[in-house]
């Protein structure tokens, strides 16, 4: 469910006409619905209420401060993968006891900052990380609470770049070596083992990988019990897919039913790290048509946003729903919708049936709320777009559009080029 709807042929976000925002702030811009975000979070929480979950929003999906604060005010925690995301979580008011630090490349500085901040736990990815964490904890006279990320070697049937639980993945302890990792963690003086973590991938559209992953992890919990290691937490990760165009992911209630059936009776606290499922369909990217270009082979619609603004189609070959912001009775044509970046991969759709649009008209790319702005770049020395939040009949610019001065403010000309 989302709050982007057409009224008399004009696209609205909640009660605000999107044309109006474009006229007042220009394009391109990301646009998010407060009500959709709030509803998605509460639906996730309600579906799992039987096991009283700790829901840690995955900051990597969208780390704008205003977005993160919505989840913090709703009582959510945070899953972070960098010192920057950790600082963001603390500054928007997330309780340290609800913060989980994941990732496979934590630095000593980041670990120290997290320990001083008294976060809930670290998702540990390797033996070397365990040893470094123990060393930093010792120097700070702390004891770090950890769960080991275990790689169950499962194919989640998603894009290869989104699969994180395969044996060849860079993430987590090999399942067959996990017991050795736990024994090391148990023996390290400044480490407290708190449980187990799995994350098998992202944009998963079947329940089967979750079932198989949980079964393997629960079997490992039994092995840990035999060697005297108690499991206080099981971190199920994230990964539940959403509808972008024609996908058929499991509904949230069915996902929750499966997870609850596996965790009930274990007397273990469940942690969840949703990102895409909360934010993906809560946001769109609005662009303006710059040109029509007709060749002997193709008709191109060139818009003012590019792969630097929204990289998913180029990076993951992702297909998104795209619609005119104002619908008219126009005959459909087959077009490529492309951006202005000097790369052949700079496209949003290829060979797409689309109503004829002209220069100056607005297009909306749906499903852009997650991994949109957070993956944006300044490639081709382009300014990143604005971000806007709508609540009811009001809208708020929550990130100003970058300027040329923003792009060069951290550059420094060496003396040898000043003469």
**Catalytic positions, please?**
342
20: number of Cβ within 10 Å: 12
Q: What is the rounded (10 degree) CA torsion for 412, 415, 417, 419? A: 130
Beta bridge partners of 145: 192
Nearest to 325 by CA among 90, 6, 81, 93: 6
* Secondary structure percentages of the chain, helix, strand, coil, to 5: 35, 25, 40
207: number of Cβ within 10 Å: 17
CA end-to-end span of the chain, whole Å?
60
Yes or no: say if 198 and 149 are a contact pair by the CB < 8 Å rule: yes
* Three-state DSSP state, 123: strand
Nearest to 19 by CA among 307, 408, 395: 395
DSSP 282-316: GEEEEEEEEEEEE-SS-EEEEES--TTT--HHHHH
Tokens of 127: 């033996």
Region of residue 265 (phi > 0: left; psi between -120 and 50: alpha; otherwise: beta): left
Whole-number Å distance between alpha carbons of 57 and 36: 15
Whole-number Å distance between alpha carbons of 104 and 164: 11
Q: How far is CA 411 from CA 378, 402, 405, 406, in A?
A: 14, 16, 10, 10
Whole-number Å distance between alpha carbons of 77 and 90: 10
Q: What is the rounded (10 degree) CA torsion for 257, 263, 267, 268? A: -110
Cβ contacts of 73 within 8 Å, gap of 6 or more: 93
Whole-number Å distance between alpha carbons of 67 and 397: 12
Bridge-based pairing of strands 173-174 and 29-33 is unpaired
């Amino acid at each position: 469910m989302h709050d982007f709807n057409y009224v008399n042929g004009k696209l609205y976000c909640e009660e605000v006409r999107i044309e109006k925002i474009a006229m007042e702030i220009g394009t391109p811009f990301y646009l998010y619905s407060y009500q959709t975000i709030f509803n998605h979070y509460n639906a996730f929480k309600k579906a799992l209420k039987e096991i009283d979950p700790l829901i840690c929003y995955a900051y990597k999906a969208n780390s704008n401060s205003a977005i993160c604060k919505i989840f913090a005010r709703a009582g959510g925690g945070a899953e972070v993968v960098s010192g920057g995301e950790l600082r963001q979580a603390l500054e928007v008011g997330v309780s340290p006891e609800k913060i989980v630090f994941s990732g496979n490349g934590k630095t000593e500085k980041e670990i120290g900052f997290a320990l001083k901040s008294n976060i809930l736990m670290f998702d540990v990815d390797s033996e070397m990380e365990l040893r470094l964490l123990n060393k930093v904890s010792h120097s700070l006279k702390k004891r770090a609470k950890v769960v080991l990320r275990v790689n169950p070697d499962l194919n989640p049937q998603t894009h290869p770049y989104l699969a994180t639980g395969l044996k060849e993945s860079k993430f987590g302890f090999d399942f067959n070596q996990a017991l050795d990792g736990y024994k090391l963690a148990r023996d390290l003086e400044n480490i407290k083992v708190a449980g187990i973590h799995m994350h098998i991938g992202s944009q998963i559209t079947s329940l089967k990988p979750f079932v198989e992953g949980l079964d393997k992890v629960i079997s490992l919990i039994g092995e840990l019990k035999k060697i005297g290691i108690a499991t206080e937490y099981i971190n199920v990760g994230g990964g539940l897919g959403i509808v972008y165009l024609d996908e058929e992911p499991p509904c949230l209630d069915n996902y929750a039913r499966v997870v609850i059936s596996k965790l009930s009776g274990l007397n273990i606290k469940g942690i969840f790290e949703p990102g895409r499922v909360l934010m993906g369909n809560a946001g769109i990217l609005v662009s303006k048509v710059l040109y029509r270009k007709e060749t002997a082979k193709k008709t191109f619609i060139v818009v003012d946003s590019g792969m630097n603004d929204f990289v998913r189609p180029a990076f993951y070959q992702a297909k998104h729903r795209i619609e005119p912001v104002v619908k008219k009775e126009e005959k459909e044509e087959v077009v490529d919708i492309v951006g202005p970046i000097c790369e052949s991969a700079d496209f949003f759709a290829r060979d797409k049936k689309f109503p004829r649009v002209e220069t100056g008209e607005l297009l909306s790319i749906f499903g852009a709320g997650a991994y949109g702005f957070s993956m944006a770049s300044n490639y081709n020395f382009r300014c990143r777009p604005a971000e806007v939040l709508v609540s009811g009949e009001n809208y708020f610019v929550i990130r100003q559009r970058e300027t040329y001065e923003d792009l060069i403010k951290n550059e420094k000309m060496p003396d040898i080029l000043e003469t």
